[in-house]
Homo-oligomer: A and B are copies of this chain.
Amino acid sequence: MRLVIVGGVAGGMSCAARARRLDENADIIVLDQGKYVSFANCGLPYYVGGEIEDAGSLLLHTPDSLRGWLNLDVRTEYRVSAVDYAAHELTVETPNGTEIIGYDVLVLSPGGEAALPPVPGLAEARDAGAAVHTLRTVDDARALRALAESGGAAVVIGGGFIGMEAAEALANQGLETHVVETAEHILPPLEREMATLATDEAERLGIKVHAATGAQQVEYRAGNTESPLNVRLSNGETLEADLVVVSAGVKPLTSVFTEAGVAAERGAIIIDEHGRTNIENVYAVGDATLSRNAVTGVPGVVALAGPANRAGRLVADHIFRGNTADNPARPIPASEGTAIVRIGDLAAAMTGANRAQLDAAGVTYKTIHLHPNQHAGYFPGAKPIHLIIHFETPGGRLLGAQAIAEDGADKRIDVLATAIRAGMSVRDLIDLDLSYSPPYGNAKDAINMAGLVGSNVLDGVLELMYPEQVTDLGEDWAVLDVRSEREFGLGHLPDAINIPHTELRERLPELAELVGEPGTPGAKKLAVMCAVGVRAWIAYQVVRQAGWDGRMISGGINTLYEWYGPQIADLLEI
C-alpha cells in the first residue's frame, strides 16, 4: 500500500504520522514544493520580531528526523505539475528533473499561497527587486528579519491576524510601522468592540493603523537607498517605506488538482465528512479545503493549524481502518474557528460565529457585554477581561464569543469553545464549576457572570440597549447614569440624569419629577447605565420594579467606548 501525501505541514504531516502509527509497513511518501516540511508557520512572525532567536527552532522536523522517527519518505522541493487520477499517477518536478510517482491513496494538503492583492505597481515592484514580501515560509521570515534589522519604515498591507503579528514584529525591531486595512478595523473577524482595544494597543506599540483604507498604488524607486517604496493610500496619504509586507489572504494551491478533475469551489477542494474528494482514493485536508462552520453550517475555508491537524489524523484513520458498522470512522469535526492573537500586552481570542456570520446565516440572537476581572479584585494584578457573547434567542444556545484582555482571555474562550462544542445554552454557564482561588479566578468567574446576564436576558428580566442605539433615543427616553458624581463628571451621555446607585431608592421621587411618574402617559423610558453593568443591573431592577419601562445599556461606558472609539469624545458631555 502506497500513500502519497502532497504537502508536509500541519494536515499533511499529521496524516503521515498517524498513518505510520497505524501501519508500520505502508509506503508513505510526503511531497512538498517548499524547502522545509513540518515547520512552525505560526512561529514565523516571532522569529521576524526577534523573540524566537534561531530560525532552526522553527524546523520541528527534517526529512532525516522524519525518516528516523516515523520511517517517512519525505521529499522537499517536489512540485506536482500534473495528475492522472485514472492511472493513479502524479507528475512531479524535482530538483533532479521530472518524475512520475504512483499512489494507491492520495492525500492533498497543498495549503495556500499568500495572495498578492491587485494593487497597481505592487507586483511590478516585487519583480523589480523591491523589498516586497509575504510571510508564509521560513525563507520569507529570514528575509524579513534581515530587512527589519536594517531599520527604516515598513508598510504592512492587510491587518488580519498574521498582518498584525508581522506589524508587531517589525515595530519590535524598531521600524516605523504602518498597517493598511481595507475593512472598518484591523483583525476583521473581531467584533468592533474588541478591535477598538486592539487598535489602541497597536498604537501604543507605535504601529500606525490605517483602517478603512486601501493601498491604491505602489511606486518603486530602484536605487533610492532611503525609502525606495511609496505606498499611496485611498485616503490620499502617501507612505514612504523601505519594506512592504503583504498579508492579504491566502489562495488555495489547488489548480493542478482541480484542473485534473477534483471538485472545488473558488479553489477550495470539496470534501465529505471523512475528507474524501469526488475522486476515489483521493482525500484532501487543511487550508485548501472547504469546511462547514460548526455554528452556522455555512461552508468556508478555515486556515487554522488545529483543524488541519485533526483532519489529517482522521483521514489516516479512514484510510487504514476503514469505516464499517462495527468500527465506524469518526467524522472530521466542523471547526468553530477558535483563534487567538497576541497584540502587545493583550490577547484577543474568539470562538464560534461573530455578528457578521450570524447575520449572514439569518440566526436570531442577543449579545451581552461584560468586563469582569480575570481574578479576585482584591488580589494584586486584577485586570478586566472584555467579553462578548452571542446566544440564540429564544433558546439560549451559545453561538460565539470573543474576549480581549491582558490575562485570561485564552482560558475563557477555551471554556466557551468547549461549551459551544457541547451545545450548551448560555444558562449552562452559570453552573460551570471552574477553578477558583484569588490568583486564578473569582468565586463567580467571568464565565458564570456571563451565564447570569444571559439568563436574565432570556428570562426577559433584563432588556438591553446597545451602543448604536444611544445616539437617537428620542424624546420619550431619558438616560439614568448611576455612576458616582466623579465618574459622571469625567464624561456622560447628553442630558443624562446622574443618581448614584446607592442613592437611587431614596431619590426615586426626584427621578419621578424629572422623567414622570411611572405608569403615567408622559413618563419617559429609562436607559440605565454605569461603567460596566454591575451597578446598572441593580438600578435597573429598582426602576423597573418601581414601574418605569426601560433598558440597560449593555456593558456600560466601557462598551460605549469600545463601540465608538476615540470618537466617543464627540458623543459625551463633560
A residues contacting B by CB (< 8 A) are 10, 20-21, 23-25, 40, 42-43, 46, 51-52, 57-58, 60, 65, 68-71, 294, 304-310, 313, 330, 333, 335-342, 347, 349-351, 376, 378-380, 410-411, 413-415, 417-419, 421-422, 424, 427-428, 430-441, 443-445, 447-448, 452, 501-503, 505, 537-538, 541-542, 545-546
Q: Are B441 and A70 in contact (CB under 8 A)?
A: no
Q: Are B443 and A71 in contact (CB under 8 A)?
A: no
Could you name 28 residue pairs across A and B whose Cβ atoms are closer than 8 Å?
A: A24-B545, A24-B546, A42-B376, A51-B379, A52-B380, A57-B378, A68-B501, A69-B538, A70-B538, A304-B436, A306-B436, A309-B443, A333-B433, A335-B433, A339-B437, A340-B436, A340-B437, A349-B435, A351-B435, A410-B435, A414-B415, A414-B432, A414-B435, A415-B415, A417-B433, A417-B435, A421-B431, A422-B422
In the complex, chain B residues whose CB is within 8 Å of the CB of A418 = 415, 418-419, 422, 432, 434
How many copies of this chain does one complex carry? 2
Q: Contacts A42-B376, A443-B306, A501-B69 hold; do A339 and B435 have CB atoms under 8 A apart?
A: yes
Q: Are A505 and B379 in contact (CB under 8 A)?
A: no
Once the chains are docked, how many angstroms separate the CA of A433 from the CA of B291?
14
Q: Are A42 and B419 in contact (CB under 8 A)?
A: no
A24-B545, A306-B443 are known; give 9 further A-B pairs, CB within 8 A. A24-B546, A52-B378, A305-B436, A310-B448, A340-B441, A342-B437, A342-B440, A411-B414, A415-B415
Q: Are A340 and B435 in contact (CB under 8 A)?
A: yes
In the complex, chain B residues whose CB is within 8 Å of the CB of A46 = 379, 438-439
Report the minimal beta-carbon distance from A209 to chain B, rounded to whole angstroms. Answer: 20
In the complex, chain B residues whose CB is within 8 Å of the CB of A341 = 437
In the complex, chain B residues whose CB is within 8 Å of the CB of A542 = 24
Q: Are A337 and B69 in contact (CB under 8 A)?
A: no
Report the minimal beta-carbon distance from A501 to chain B, rounded to whole angstroms. Answer: 7
Q: Return the chain B residue nearest A462 by Cβ.
A: B21
- Checking B65, B337, B541 against A433 with a beta-carbon cut-off of 8 angstroms, the contacting residue is B337
Report the minimal beta-carbon distance from A274 to chain B, rounded to whole angstroms. Answer: 14
Once the chains are docked, how many angstroms separate the CA of A452 from the CA of B40?
21
Q: Contacts A68-B502, A306-B433 hold; do A347 and B440 have CB atoms under 8 A apart?
A: yes
Once the chains are docked, how many angstroms separate the CA of A330 from the CA of B52?
51
Q: Contacts A40-B376, A43-B379, A68-B502 hold; do A413 and B435 have CB atoms under 8 A apart?
A: yes
In the complex, chain B residues whose CB is within 8 Å of the CB of A58 = 378
Report the minimal beta-carbon distance from A341 to chain B, rounded to whole angstroms. Answer: 6
Q: Are B24 and A435 in contact (CB under 8 A)?
A: no
In the complex, chain B residues whose CB is within 8 Å of the CB of A65 = 502
- Checking B433, B437, B439 against A336 with a beta-carbon cut-off of 8 angstroms, the contacting residue is B433
Q: Are A24 and B433 in contact (CB under 8 A)?
A: no
Once the chains are docked, how many angstroms separate the CA of A445 from the CA of B411?
13
Once the chains are docked, how many angstroms separate the CA of A341 from the CA of B436?
8
Once the chains are docked, how many angstroms separate the CA of A108 from the CA of B333?
47
